[in-house]
Amino acid sequence: MLSNRVIEIGERLKKLKADLTSHPLPQRAVSVQPKRKEFRYHDPQSLRGFKNLLFVAKTLVEGQYAGKHKSPFRGSAPEFVDYRAYNPGDELRTIDWKAFARTDRHYIKLFEKETDMNCYLLLDTSASMNFGSKFSQNFSTRLDVSKIEYASYLTAALAYLMVKQGDKVGLTRFSNRIESHVPASGTYSHLYSILDSLEKGPAGRTTSVAEALRKSFGLFKRRGLLIVISDFLDDPEEIFKALNLFLHRRFEIILFQVLHDLELELPSVANANFIDVENGDRITCIPGDIQEGYDERLGEFLRTLAKLSRSRGIDYHLLNTQTPYQRVLQKYLLKRSSVSR
């Protein structure tokens, strides 16, 4: 019986050897990695100057994981949940040295009920934000960038900074309605979802900042940092009524108003055709004839936005598309970090 069993095993080994000979295995496994998509508004080269800057919350935040921000919760629940990369400014005692020994990289342990931040980015993609894409090419001294392009670069940079420092970020695109919504999360794969959403460009619809704010209010389950990026060419009183909803829940609010250089200063030409990009209305006139009245109305509008923001403790900033967004953001973060200390 035993000899028969040995013979049977030998026959099986011969068959297996024959199969391997006729169908040899490859000498080594070949791993084919898919090519990473390049995103239009993500500029890693320009963002290198931000590697030591942090976007620190000025108010209490309701976080679940370790972060940079003061929390309304007292005590701690030392239940380990995850790691995040070490950032300059983190306490050295929080570094996991065992993880460093394994990976040669510095990591921080994340624990429940400590402080990360939820950042909610609201980007205006209405038709008015497309202004500049067809006009700036006629002025060789001007940057050839529309308001939506400028705002998208700024949005991408903010999203990158939030994820890099271990916070959660979401993106809501709006016109007179919610165009798309990416919920807040803190992974790099999630960042790519936000960058992909930015590729969609302007929606081509009218603006209603107030309506979009009211509709987005229910999307944000936890209070945090609300950043609205828009030209705010809408009724200021209605906008701030909607923002009061977020203030009541103790959100910190930042408004970045993006205007094109040709909106802030009318072109010096003999004759111009002005077209409303949202409803198609047009007038033809000499810019010099309306310059004084235009400057007065625009100045009054901008002062109203600044005043309403200041009275509510909202951080308001007017941005000109001619000023590189990297310079604007770096200056803002440096100022913000000095105030937060």
Q: pLDDT tens, 203-249?
A: 777 889 999 999 999 999 888 999 999 999 999 999 999 999 999 99
Whole-number Å distance between alpha carbons of 186 and 164: 8
CA distances, 73 to each of 62, 166, 266 (Å): 8, 19, 52
Whole-number Å distance between alpha carbons of 121 and 228: 6
Find the DSSP H helices in the chain. 2-22, 44-47, 97-103, 147-164, 188-198, 209-217, 236-248, 261-264, 287-312, 325-340
What confidence category does residue 81 fall into, taking pLDDT thresholds of 50, 70 and 90?
Answer: low
Query: By the 8 A CB rule, do 41 and 50 touch?
Result: no
pLDDT recorded at residue 58: 63
Q: What is the mean pLDDT of the chain?
A: 79
CA distances, 18 to each of 14, 118, 220, 336 (Å): 6, 61, 64, 72
> What is the set of domains in the chain, with CATH numbers?
61-111 (no CATH), 118-340 (3.40.50.410)
pLDDT at 186 over 80: yes
The 3-state secondary structure of 108-146, one letter per residue = EEEECCCCCCEEEEEEECCHHHHCCCCCHHHCCCCCCCC
Quote the DSSP letter at residue 167: -
Whole-number Å distance between alpha carbons of 116 and 264: 38
Dihedral angle sign, alpha carbons of residues 84, 87, 93, 99 = positive
Whole-number Å distance between alpha carbons of 65 and 333: 23
What confidence category does residue 137 fall into, taking pLDDT thresholds of 50, 70 and 90?
Answer: very low
At 27-39, the pLDDT tens digits run: 444 444 445 578 8
What confidence category does residue 13 fall into, taking pLDDT thresholds of 50, 70 and 90?
Answer: low
Query: By the 8 A CB rule, do 174 and 216 touch?
Result: yes
**Nearest C-alpha neighbor of 77 from the set 67, 66, 68, 69:** 66
Least confident of 22-26, 132-136, 330-334: 22-26
Q: Which of 36-45, 105-114, 307-316 has the highest mean pLDDT?
A: 307-316
H or E element in which residue 83 lies: strand 80-85
Quote the DSSP letter at residue 164: H
pLDDT recorded at residue 21: 54
Q: Which residues contact 216 (CB under 8 A, 6 or more apart)?
A: 120, 122, 172, 174, 178, 181
Token pair recorded at residue 307: 């005043």
Give the number of other Cβ atoms within 10 Å of residue 267's Cβ: 12
Per the model's pLDDT, the better-predicted residue between 148 and 51 turns out to be 148
Token pair recorded at residue 180: 């798309």
CA distances, 270 to each of 162, 266, 288 (Å): 47, 11, 8
Per the model's pLDDT, the better-predicted residue between 221 and 8 turns out to be 221
If DSSP codes are grouped into helix, strand and coil, which group holds residue 224?
Answer: coil
CA distances, 323 to each of 40, 229, 304 (Å): 19, 16, 23
Cα-atom radius of gyration of the chain, to the nearest Å? 27
Give the number of other Cβ atoms within 10 Å of residue 81's Cβ: 12
Token pair recorded at residue 273: 């055709």
